[in-house]
Structure formats: structure tokens, C-alpha cells
Amino acid sequence: MKTIIEPFKIKSVEPIRFTTKDERIKILQDAGFNPFLIHADDVLIDLLTDSGTSAMSSDQWAGVMRGDESYAGAKSFYVFEKAVKKITGDKFIIPTHQGRAAEKILFSILGGPGKYFPNNTHFDTTRANVEFSGAEAVDILNEVGKHPEQNAPFKGNMDVEALESFIKKVGKENIPFVMLTITNNSGGGQPVSMQNIKDVSSVCKKYKLPLFFDACRFAENAYFIKLREKGYANKSVLEICQEIFSYADGSTMSAKKDALVNIGGWLSMNDEELAMKCRNLLIVTEGFPTYGGLAGRDLEAIAQGLEEVVDEHYLQYRIRSTEYLGEKLMNNGIPIIEPPGGHAIYIDAKRFVPHLKPEEYPGQSIVCEMYIEGGIRACEIGSIMFGKYDNDGKLIPAMMELVRMAIPRRVYTQSHIDYVAEVVIEVFNRREKLKGYKITYEAPLLRHFTAQFAPL
Ligand SMILES: *Cc1c(COP(=O)(O)O)cnc(C)c1O
């Protein structure tokens, strides 16, 4: 087989700034050893997130110029609506400025104290919106999904039996809907199988519960189904997407992921009464229902992005380039969550630096070292992000200590990825020398964004 190449030519380039190791040590120190506080201009390869960081195509930029900025009933809305309907098949399509805006509206209307929302794994904004409404967010992930070292094709699957027991336990009247996150972002970008989607949908039908998708990476999920699930190899990704959505009653979406744009989202559904309530709240919080917090040009870019994201050359390149980085690391003995997910590679910091205890923040140590070694910015997903304190002020560590390298869509080429692998391997080769960190400042909530550190 020949090399899988980037399925695009580059028309417009954005220079990246090179720094020396000494400069980076100073920059990191000034940022309190927190990469969130580094200026993006001081980063060579930015793998902090795949959200809103996609490169748009020339057709998307052309759409930006075509954008109709009429307040109500803009032409661009109908272009957007048609593109979203083509994929979801849903009757009511409501634009929002991000995924969390769609979540806020949905959970404000259907959440509240005494309610439960089962999901394979809630993403952090989803969980926050469920809990903000007073309801409880419940993760019901398949057992294999909880083990980073175990390899399985669909580690994002929900545990269907556990879902049914849960419904019986709390009562279906207390569950406004069931949610599936495709792919499972918090669980390593792992896909959900069509069989699992069907099984969850049957349980929902049995108890007359609606099923919603948190659909941020629906196209990546569909491509994994095509590659890994029997009976789908000869179906087009668009057909697979349409089948996926046919099992659900609605979706929330962050267009900053699989719509290949820098801002946007939607809320879709088939229930007319619910759609009316959502639109009424949308008008208060986001804007008129034909723009929902976005400009006409954003709606055009999303519509075009949805055409491009189901292109199989794009998806082959996308999934392969993530896997390629994963393979390079694994071949050098670097422990990662296996198999590689769709949008990111997750280093297992506990196995990378086993000499560091959770209270020495092993993930942060690797993140800082990757920046110093090669100007790469990654994100700790471990005890800094999810750690809590007990009554004596002792750290209750997170379940896993991970470092996430999220790959922006269509932004970096194979040589960038080769470089990333070289830097990580370099850091791994001197892993025994890596030191831990302590927190010198932290905010009461979401501390990972603003915390300051000092090396131990
Ligand atoms: C990004 C994301 C969201 C939230 O979307 P925003 O556009 O960042 O508000 C929700 N769920 C998942 C799975 C995500 O990845």
C-alpha cells in the first residue's frame, strides 16, 4: 500500500515561530509552568485541543463571502439547515454558537433536581450543564473502555445491561433522555459501534425514552464503523452517518469538531413541542432561531464543512494520521491508550513516569518537558484537571493520569507529526530524570486553566 497523503494542497500558510530551548524554559517559568498560560505565538506545534482549530477549505472561505447577514430568514440559514438535515434527518435544526450552548438549552428545559441523564461518558461541559440544572450525570461505559492498556475496536460503547438496570432502579419517569457521545471524547476518542447504538436505541424504545447524540465527532465515529464493523465496509460514510442518526431523536453538536469550522454548533430534534421550547429559550440566550448566536457566514462554513467531513479521503487521512502518531510512540515503547482514538493520542503518564506519585502530577511533568524539548503544547488530563481534596486537604487523585495530544484537523502535515513523535521519544528516553511539580496557586473551580506550578 502506498503512503496515505494529505488530501489537500496548501493555498494559504500561517508561519510558526521557532524558539530556543533556553527561551522556552523562560517562557514556561513566566507562565507558572502551565501551558494554558503560554502565548500561542510561543508554541511551535499546538496540540492543546482539536476544538475550533481546524483549517477551513477554499470552498468554506468562499462560503464566508456568500454569507447572508439578514437578521431573520437569511439564505445562509436554509443552506445550513439543509446540510444538517441531510446528515441527521431531524425535523428541527436550531443553530447555536457552540456545543455547550445547545447543552445549556436542552438541559435547562429537561433537566432539574431529581432527574438523571445516562451517557457512555459525559464530556466535561455536558456534565457541567446537567449538574448546573440540578440533575445527575451518570456515566455507563462498557468495562473494556475503562482500561487504557486493553485493545478493543469499540471502547466507547455503553454497557447496555447496566443501562437497563439503571432505568429500572431510578424509574423511567426520572430520565428525560439517554445520551451517547460519539466518539467518546473523555474516554480517549474511542468509537461506539452501530450494534451498540442499535441496542441502546432498543432499550430506549422499550422504556419510551428519547435518545440524543452528543455528536461532535460523528464522522470519525462513522469511519471507525466502516473500518471495524462487519457489514459496513461497502457503505459510504454518509450512509453510515444517516443510519447512526436514524436511531436517535435528536443531537447536540459542537461544529468546532466535525464540521471543520472555528465556531458553531446546533441542537436538532424531531419533537415539535420540545423544539418550540428550545427556540423560545434560544431567543433569550443566543439569538433569533435562524442564526442562534452565529453570523450568516458561519452557517455557510458549517454547511460546507459537513460536506467535506464525510469525504472518505479526508477521513482516511484524519484517522490514519492520528494512528500514525500512536504507532510511532508504541513502537518506541511509549505507553498510550490503545487503540489510538480518532482525534487524539493519550499518553499514560502513570506508566511513562512510574517514579512520580499522583501528588507530584506526572502528566504535568511530561507536558512541561514536551514544551521545553520541542515547543509542543499538550494537555494534562489527570489529577490537575480532575483531582479533588479530602477533608484533610490531601489529594484524591483522578482515576487516570493522561497527557492528551489532540490533532487539529487539516492543520499539520506528516513531517509535523514525525517531529512530535521525535520530541516525545526524546523525553521518554530521559524519563527517569523527569521531576514532579507542586501547585503554588489554584482557583476553586476548573483549576487546570489558571493554576501555577513549581518544579519539585
Ligand atoms: C467539545 C465538546 C462539547 C462542547 O462543545 P463546545 O463547542 O466546546 O461548547 C461537548 N461534547 C463533546 C464530546 C465535545 O467534544
Percent of the chain with pLDDT over 70: 100
What is the predicted pLDDT for the residue at 1?
81
Taking residues 363-378, report their average pLDDT: 97
Write out residues with Cβ below 6 Å of ligand 1. 51, 98-100, 123, 125-126, 181, 185, 214, 216, 254, 256-257, 265
Mean pLDDT score of the chain: 96
Which stretch of DSSP H or E encloses residue 62?
A: helix 58-66
**What number is the average pLDDT over the span 86-112?**
97
Decide if pLDDT at 354 tops 90: yes
Does position 446 have pLDDT exceeding 90, yes or no? no
Residue 25: strand, helix, or coil: helix
Residue pLDDT, tens place only, 29-41: 999 999 999 999 9
**Could you give the C-alpha distances from 112 to 109, 174, 204, 206, 364, in angstroms and in order?**
8, 10, 20, 24, 36
Ordered structural domains, the chain, with CATH: 21-50+312-455 (3.90.1150.10), 58-309 (3.40.640.10)
Closest-CA residue to 226 (of 157, 315, 307, 305): 315
Distance, CA 23 to ligand 1 centroid (Å)? 34
Over residues 125-137, the mean pLDDT reads 93
Average pLDDT on 247-272 reads 98
The closest residue, in CA terms, to atom 12 on ligand 1 is 123
Cα 215 to middle of ligand 1, angstroms: 9
pLDDT at 148: 83
The reported pLDDT for the residue numbered 447 is 83
Q: Report pLDDT for 171.
A: 97
Rg (CA), the chain: 22
Alpha helix stretches (DSSP H) within 89-234: 99-110, 124-132, 160-170, 194-206, 218-228
Taking the C-alpha atoms of residue 251 and residue 177, their distance in angstroms, rounded to an integer, is 11
Q: Could you give the CA distance from residue 176 to residue 209 in angstroms, rounded to a whole number?
A: 7
Asked if the model's pLDDT at residue 444 lies above 80, the reply is no
CA of 123 to the centre of ligand 1 (A): 7
- pTM value? 0.95
Q: Determine the Cα angle at 109 with ends 174 and 163, to 5°.
A: 35
- pLDDT digit string, tens, across residues 166-183: 999 999 999 999 999 999
Q: How far is the CA of 100 from the centre of ligand 1 (A)?
A: 6
pLDDT at 141 over 90: yes
The atom of ligand 1 lying closest to the CA of 181 is 13
